[in-house]
Structures are given as C-alpha cells and as structure tokens.
C-alpha cells in the first residue's frame, strides 16, 4: 500500500513544469518559511510567543534526534529512487528515508505551536502537510516516511508540552538575556 500510494502521487510529477517547480520549492524550502514565521514570533517581543518558539525548537530537536539517530538506523528503509523507477525531481543522497527529516522538522514546529497558538499553528500544520506531500511528489520519500515523521513529531510535541512547567526556567532565562541584549543594543 505504501508503494501504491507513492506511485499514485509521484506519477503526477514530470507532467507540467510549473507544477513541478512549485512542488520542488515546497519539498525543499517551505521549512525555511516556517522557521521565518518562528523568527517573527520571537521578535514580537511577547513572552508567550517567545516561549512558543523555544518549545518548537526543543520539540524539533527531540524529534530529529530520535528519528535520525535511533529510528532511521534501526529501520534502514531505502528511498524510493534507490529501489524503484521514479520521477525524481530533486537530488538527494540515497540514505535511509524513514522517517523524513524535512517532514519531522515541519510537523514538529507545527504541532508544537498548535498546542499554544491555534491560528498560527493551523497555518504551520498546513505548510507541514504540503511539505510532506511534496516530498512524495518529488520522489524522495514514501507516504509512510511522512506519516512516521508526523506521528513522531506529534508525540515529541505532546511530551515537550507536558514538560513545559519543568522546562520553563530555561526560556524564561533566555528571554531575559535577549531582553537585556536588546535594550543594550538600542542604547548604543
């Protein structure tokens, strides 16, 4: 079923150049837009937004470490283009594909923010879904790679959210340091 879904999505590639260009952008660069949104949240200067950014970063780091260092080496699932004839639109190393790093980053940010800021979290979740879909479209991931990344990211976001009270002194201190540095920079 995983391969069947992959084929269903990937067969759409290489038909219209302009759609392929959009999908290539989505597969590779939407995560940078998501990080920019986190940057905007941070620079609002609102403590709630800054804490949301901190916890999104912690969630992403946790998911990426578990996914890349534990799950991927244990599962050792090859990429679609390594074992099948596919429409591969972006270059990629033939390393393990499960779970998708791009999707883990995108879904980690989205789920973490969604738990505290619904509107922005929903926007980020839509961007994460588009990222995941486009990674399959361009031929570098199977749908299960994306689903696995989404599940791991959701678990990591929920775990970090449950630990917020214990971790709270860290962002509090970072926010204070940032505030002092900002005030010093404005004075000069």
Gap between the Cα atoms of 72 and 50, Å rounded: 31
pLDDT at 185: 77
Q: What is the pLDDT of residue 154?
A: 97
Which residue in 156, 147, 149 sits closest to 106, CA to CA? 149
pLDDT at position 84: 79
Following DSSP, what letter does each residue of the chain receive, concatenated? -HHHHHHHHHTTTTS-HHHHHHHHHHHHHHHHHHHHHHHHHHHT--HHHHHHHHHHHHHHHHHHHHIIIIIHHHH-PBPHHHHS-----S-----B-SS-HHHHHHHHHHHHHHTT-HHHHHHHHHHHHHHHHHHHHTTS--HHHHHHHHHHHHHHHHHHHHTHHHHTHHHHHHHHHHHHHHHHHHH-
CB 116 within 8 A of CB 133: no
Q: What is the pLDDT of residue 92?
A: 81
Report the predicted TM-score, pTM, of the whole model to 2 decimal places.
Answer: 0.88
Q: Where are the domains of the chain?
A: 2-6+18-87+95-187
Per-10-residue mean pLDDT, the chain, length 188: 85 88 94 96 91 96 94 88 82 84 96 95 97 93 95 97 92 87 78
Give pLDDT, residue 183.
Answer: 80
Query: What pLDDT is attached to residue 58?
Result: 97
């Amino acid at each position: 079923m995983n391969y069947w879904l992959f084929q269903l999505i990937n067969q759409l590639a290489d038909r219209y150049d302009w759609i392929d260009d959009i999908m290539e952008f989505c597969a590779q660069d939407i995560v940078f837009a998501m990080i920019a949104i986190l940057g905007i949240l941070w620079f609002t200067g609102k403590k709630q937004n800054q804490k949301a950014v901190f916890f999104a970063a912690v969630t992403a780091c946790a998911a990426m470490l578990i996914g890349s260092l534990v799950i991927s080496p244990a599962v050792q699932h090859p990429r679609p283009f390594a074992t099948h004839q596919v429409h591969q639109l972006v270059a990629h190393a033939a390393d393990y594909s499960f779970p998708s790093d791009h999707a883990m980053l995108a879904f980690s940010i989205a789920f973490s923010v969604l738990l505290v800021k619904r509107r922005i979290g929903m926007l980020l979740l839509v961007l994460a879904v588009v990222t995941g879909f486009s990674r399959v479209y361009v031929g570098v991931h199977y749908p299960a790679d994306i689903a696995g990344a989404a599940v791991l990211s959701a678990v990591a976001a929920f775990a970090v959210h449950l630990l917020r009270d214990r971790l709270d002194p860290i962002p509090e201190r970072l926010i204070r340091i940032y505030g002092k540095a900002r005030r010093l920079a404005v004075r000069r």
